[in-house]
Amino acid sequence: MPLIEVNSKKKETQLIKEEAKRLGFLSCGISKADFLEEEAPRLEKWLKANMHGEMGYMENHFDKRLDPRKLVDDAKSVISLLLNYFPSEQQEADTYKISKYAYGQDYHQVIKSKLRELHAFIEETIGEVKGRAFVDSAPVLDKAWAAKSGLGWMGKHSNLLTQQHGSFYFIAELIVDLEIDYDHPVTDHCGTCTACIDACPTEAIVQPYVVDGSKCISYLTIELKNEIPSSFQGQLDDWIFGCDVCQDVCPWNRFSKSHQTPLFNPNPEILSMSKKEWEEITEDVFKKVFKGSAVKRTKFSGLKRNIKFLE
């Protein structure tokens, strides 16, 4: 494919955003690859307070988390992208619950594939551009970059929020050595609302915009490898993989629309399983139902531990 003549950063930016939309991304924002000055003290304070629990990896690569130029040589731009995962159907009301993002295929592979396509498009249309794709699998502060790129603001539950789509979407990045037009952050629209803080079953949102990860149900059911502390008995609200409570109660999520990514469509068995079926699940059924799913992260033993804790 011949290179398209591009005469300006504005044109290059437009082409990239149009291709991102064609690939199915909800939105695309771009920011300068620079040191995250505001996030540095926040991250340090959060780690010193041990709010990362047993997530020891959060202490690693501190500098890389704050400076994308340490991840990609001569990085100039961080291209942030959102991909909707809000489902058209949800689980039965009276059953054990898994987070909506895990209904379908593991998002890592789905998004990585799209990012590779976007990178290939950039090279075909603009020329050689070095870069790396990131999907929740490297020391990158996804939400901070998305906010810096104008894709939304950080809500009081520490998730990225947008007025148009709420918060049910994945965040990914393409960090490149191409200088293009940069977007600007948007204003915070949480106002006086405290719905997420009030609804959190484990009171993990210790103050607006600060989440104690070691108390979060998502951490307890996925990241925590040891036994769930007995102090959380009766507080998990039937969640066995992840938790959506703070997002479900957020007023901005009334604007969520169903995703258009077939690979994120749920396995019907996930939606229809009763509590009894969850309690009696075998390893063979687990492998069949969650083949290619993010739920495999907690493994069969982890899922059984979570269910047992709730019985």
For residue 273, give the amino acid letter: M
Q: Select from 77, 110, 66 the least CA-distant residue to 292.
A: 110
Query: Are 261 and 85 within 8 A, CB to CB?
Result: yes
Angstrom CA distances, 17 to 99, 101, 109, 128, 183, stand at 29, 24, 21, 18, 12
Distance CA 160, CA 246 (A): 12
Question: What is the C-alpha to C-alpha distance for residues 130 and 177, in angstroms, rounded to an integer?
Answer: 6
On whether the CB atoms of residues 174 and 115 are closer than 8 A, the answer is: yes
Contact between 13 and 30 (Cβ < 8 Å): yes
Report the distance separating Cα 35 and Cα 18, nearest Å: 28
* Catalytic sites, residue numbers: 136
What is the number of H-type helices and E-type strands within the chain?
12, 10
- In our burial notation (b when 16+ CB lie closer than 10 A, e otherwise), range 182-211 reads bbebbeeebeebebbbebbbbebbeeeebb
